[in-house]
Structure 1
Amino acid sequence: MIWDVLNVIGTIAFAVSGAMVAMEEKYDIFGMYVLGLVTAFGGGVIRNILIGIPVTTLWQQELLIYTALLAITLIAVIPSKWMKYWRKWINLFDAIGLSTFSIQGALYAVQLHQPIVAVIIASVLPGIGGGVIRDTLAGRKPIVFQKEIYAFWSILIGIVIGLKWFQQDWELYLLGIIIIILRMISLQYNWRLPIRNLDKSIS
């Protein structure tokens, strides 16, 4: 039940973030729904393809699909002045989604007896895949590759679960809470990975 609730929260956060990017880019209402849905579900679909889960399992998530559609619709109709309240909470919801989707992705790969590399990939893709697709469709450089420590937390989850350090339910809940806290701290203090380009040394 707890995972179901967290799944809903994460789906709302990802769908809203996609819809808000569409609004920032002045896309029409159709573009809002497309970006919202691919942000919420795109990473999970790619994960399923790579670790051997039928893509059609997406259609078994009717509650989450309807939840995403409702969240996008609300963003489309609420007054702009209310957006600031969404923005205050979106980072926390996004952190919950990142943590929850990454843990569940890693668990799917473990249940299929995949190697640790596949477990890490299955952990990372649900958390960042949709955002990468969203930014690409919006004509942006994917934020996850340049500005924030984001995918790193999913990689950490994949390693921990792949090595079977955390297996019990309470351990997985603890792991989820730790990752949410670390994600919020990294946002607060603007943590980022080193950047290396052709003109400068590592910064």
Structure 2
Amino acid sequence: MTWEVLSIIGTFAFAISGAIVAMEEEYDILGVYILGIVTAFGGGAIRNLLIGVPVTALWDQGLLFQIALFAMTIIFLFPDKLLKHWNKWGNITDAIGLSAFAIQGALYAVEMGHPTSAVVVAAVLTGSGGGLVRDLLAGRKPLVLRAEIYAFWAIIAGLLIGFELVKQPIELYILFIGIVVLRVLSYTFNWRLPIRSLHSTTKNQMM
């Protein structure tokens, strides 16, 4: 049940995120649906390829496809009412999708009996893979590759689940909320991972 709930939450949130990015880039209705579907299911497809699950397993998720289509249709039909709050709340849908899918991906790998390293990889790819493909198709710098903390929270989820420190449903829901809060805090207060710029090094050498 926990797995299914997280799948629904993640699919809904990422479908909205992909659709809104497509509309910001002024894509037509086909582009909106394609980018929304890719965002919602791209991470799961990449994860399946790497941990040995047939990609065709995605086609068995009829309910999730319906949820994604519903979310994208609502956004497309009523943009003025919904998108006026996007600048304030938009990143929250991405944070919700990241958290839900990272946990879901980790649980998937654990259920298949994979080691902790694979659990972490599954968490990162499921949580951020769809957003990575979305940003590339939209011609944007992928959020997961920026200095701003993003995929790090998926790694934390993967480690906690991989080492079985979190496994009960109530613990998983607390972890879900915690990852969402941390992700929101990280972009609100501009938390960043260490970065090394070659441009500044080259400039100093030239001086």
Please, what TM-score do these two structures have when normalized by structure 2? 0.88
Of 185-194 and 90-99, more deviation after overlay is shown by 90-99
SS at match of 2:190: coil
Aligned mates of 1:3, 1:179 — CA distance in 2: 16
Deviation string for 1:100-123 (max 9, x for gaps)?
Answer: 211111111112221222111100
Match of residue 163 from structure 1: 163
Of residues 62-71 and 176-185 in structure 1, the stretch that sits farther from structure 2 once superposed is 176-185
Name the CA shift for 1:128/1:26 in 2 (closer, same or farther; >3 Å).
same
Residue 13 of structure 2 is aligned to residue 9 of structure 1: no
Question: Which residue of 1 is the match for residue 196 of structure 2?
Answer: 196
Aligned partners of 1:13 and 1:90 also within 8 Å: no
Counterparts of residues 50-129 of structure 1 (less than 5 Å): 50-80=50-80, 82-129=82-129
Counterpart mapping for 1:172-183 below 5 A: 172-183=172-183
Shift of 1:154: 0.2
Does the C-alpha gap of structure 1 residues 3 and 167 become closer, same or farther in structure 2, counting only changes over 3 Å? closer
Q: CA deviation at 1:88?
A: 4.0
Whole-Å separation in 2 of the counterparts to 1:109 and 1:81: 39
Per-residue CA deviations over 1:141-176 (Å, capped at 9, x if unaligned) read 212211521100001111111122222222222222
Q: How many aligned positions are there?
A: 201
Q: Deviations over 1:74-119 (max 9, x none)?
A: 2222143541235544333332221121111111111222122211
SS of 1:126's partner is: helix
- Comparing 98-107 with 70-79, which one deviates more in the overlay? 70-79
1:82–1:175 distance in 2 versus 1, CA, 3 Å: closer
More off after superposition, 70-79 vs 124-133? 70-79
Q: Structure 1: which amino acid aligns with 2:166?
A: F
Q: 1:9 to 1:112 in 2, by over 3 A?
A: closer
Corresponding residue of 2:133: 133
Which of the pair has more CA radius of gyration?
A: 2
- Structure 1 residue 128, shift from structure 2 partner: 0.7
- What is the one-letter code of the residue matched to 2:37? L
**Gap runs ≥5 in structure 2:** 202-207
Rounded to whole Å, the distance in 1 between the matches of 2:158 and 2:136 is 25
Deviation at 1:67, TM superposition (A): 1.1
Query: For structure 1, which segment, 122-131 or 69-78, has the greater mean C-alpha deviation from structure 2 after superposition?
Result: 69-78
Residue 80 of structure 1: SS of its match in structure 2?
A: helix
Contact 2:7/2:100 (<8 A) preserved: yes
2-structure distance, mates of 1:96, 1:132: 15
Going from structure 1 to structure 2, the CA distance change for 1:9 and 1:164 (only over 3 Å counts) comes to: closer
